[in-house]
Structure 1
Amino acid sequence: MPRVAVVGAGIIGLSTAFALQRRGADVTLVESGPPGGGQSAGQGRIFRHAHADPRLVAQVVRSRALWREWEDELGVELVAPDGAVAIGDGVETKLETLAGFPDAPARPLSAAELHERLPVLAGYDGPAMLDVHGGAIRTRAAVEALTSRLADVLVADHVLAVRRRDDGAVEVRTGTGAHAYDHVVLAAGRGTAALAAGLGLDLPVELGAHVRVTFERADGGTGPLPTFQDGSGQFGETGVYASPYPGSRRYGVGLAGHTPAAPGGAVEDPEELAALAERTVAYVARALPGLRPEPVGHVHCWVTALPWGEDGVGIWGEDGVTAVAGHNLFKQAPVLGEALATAALSGSVPADWHHDARLGREG
């Protein structure tokens, strides 16, 4: 039975350890803080099928099926059944792309149906669509269910270094010890690139910080809400996204883009991060009058983007070590966990996920 260490218990590390455990590996999952407390923080993420890279669409379709499988096995709803709404000039392209994927049904929305499904939105009569099997990922439910399943293999400690030993093992040095494994998977978010660099793996991660602002529904309603993407520019911003919290009383809203951060992790300009939050509040006042304009919460998280796109993802592997990097990975967690488990057990990164494939590239 191979001994595998997974460094990082965000959603990708949890998914990887879960996949390895199901395949019979002897897994150790190492995390310094609360599981899901870093880049996986918050109450919701968007599950959507439409992406610029059709190869990524295919992977996300597979991931949606695995989310359903997890729901059955873990006994909890993980993706809300309320769909994903998008508006703007990119809708036609998204619909054309998804037309080739029968397991990802999508269709245009009239202005009347758009208002019915998303009553918090201001008046809008431009292009709109519904991704039928999209919806809000129940992030806390997913993290808690996986953490419970993996409780026996979860170790609370911080990793200082990973090195290859002369005997072929890979050693993980933590705050309280040094332990040898047959393989190590680095899924440590913003810490991955630094740990990988010590092993000769160069991950071209662009580090930044991002903010999502939480708002309450003005009517106090609890009726279902879809997730939302606004690429229209009609309300003064493009690349806006929003996801309802469980119970649909609150909506988390974010704008595209992030604030650059230094390699050591400090935000270069804190004022820029605050300004991003202020722009989000102003957007909500214009575009989402069904929400109270006063924020009731903020979620700040690190961004680890790759040069080939906002949805870019890649896996690096060499001599007993596998590392993963990318942005917007939560929706891909089940299928990406399977790919990382395959890499750890076979010693070979699946071709579709290899960093040279530039999965999720734009244009």
Structure 2
Amino acid sequence: MFNFNYHMPTKIIMGPDCVKKNSRVLRKFGDFCLIVTGHGSSKINGSLEDAISALEHEDIKYRIFDEVEENPSLETVEKAFMENSVHPVDFIIAIGGGSAMDAAKAVSLLFRNRITARELLSMKNLKGIPILSIPTTAGTGSETTPYSVLTDHQESTKKNIGQVIFSDIAFLDARYTINLPHHITVSTAIDAFTHLAEGYLNRNSSIMSDILAEKGFILFGECISALRNGCITIRDREKLMLASTLAGMEISQTGTSLPHGMGYPLTYFKGVPHGTANGILYEGYLSIFKDRRKIDRMLELAGISGIAELGDTFRELLKCDLVLSEGEITQYTESMLCNDTKLKNHPEHVTRDDIAGIYRSINRK
């Protein structure tokens, strides 16, 4: 018997030049746009230029906030709002990777509710002004998720702010990823895989989320050789971007699981990029499962022979030399055991030794 709820309010427009070719859809969102992006990449890859061209074609006024850092903080979100709060902002265009999109979602809530960024963490069921997303990496899937993950320096961690904020439209143009450094292409691609896997191996999975995940595994598997040899074609990049977006659609239904919660301290305290932090946990994570039927199916679809091969592949691709001390493992394990949301999404009982063992697996090269 099929039993599920499925909600995906984001309109997806994919293809070369899709932003400029579809400028007319911007018109319905209002007369003034705030563009939220990072320091430089959107200027290099052409995405910012295309967004500005589309806005100007429709005679829509705009301002640019280009100070979003990797792993954006509550302070940055508040700064984006405060610097632009006197303007009649009707909608936001987020341009960049997950950092820009996550920050833009939070900024949209501040414009609608006129609160502080920290109040986002304690208030529930807030609505924001419309957001249009233009991803320039293929990894986070934030363009189709309701999540906004921000850095809270008071708590020394990253956290989902707990609101439901979907983009109204996601424009997918893989050309914007062509100039990404190879290590970022790899790390973000593995981030997309971890979304697919954690949604698939999840207490909340359904036939609908599994359909999305299984197509994503196939697309990712078709790109492994290109990721390994560095000869990544535009067709490969289209597949990775689609896999990332499918993964976002999937985890919008299921949430993520253990590796995402466990990866946050590796990013905050050790500076390990988000996708890499997830990926280096994966051999240990998959090894704790007692029921491996879905794992076997997942790896088969991706063209990977087993958990050990996945671990070897990720180590080869990520080239991460992180080593954790026993003190760090204990600290991070205790923190993870307080993360009820991630723990409850795992379909089997998880012990303290399981979590510590996953962290220790990082040290096995």
TM bracket (short chain):
under 0.3
Q: Kindly indicate which of the two structures has a greater share of residues assigned to helix.
A: 2
Q: TM-score, normalised by structure 2?
A: 0.22
Q: TM-score, normalised by structure 1?
A: 0.23
Which structure's relative contact order is higher, taking Cα pairs within 8 Å and 6+ residues apart?
A: 1
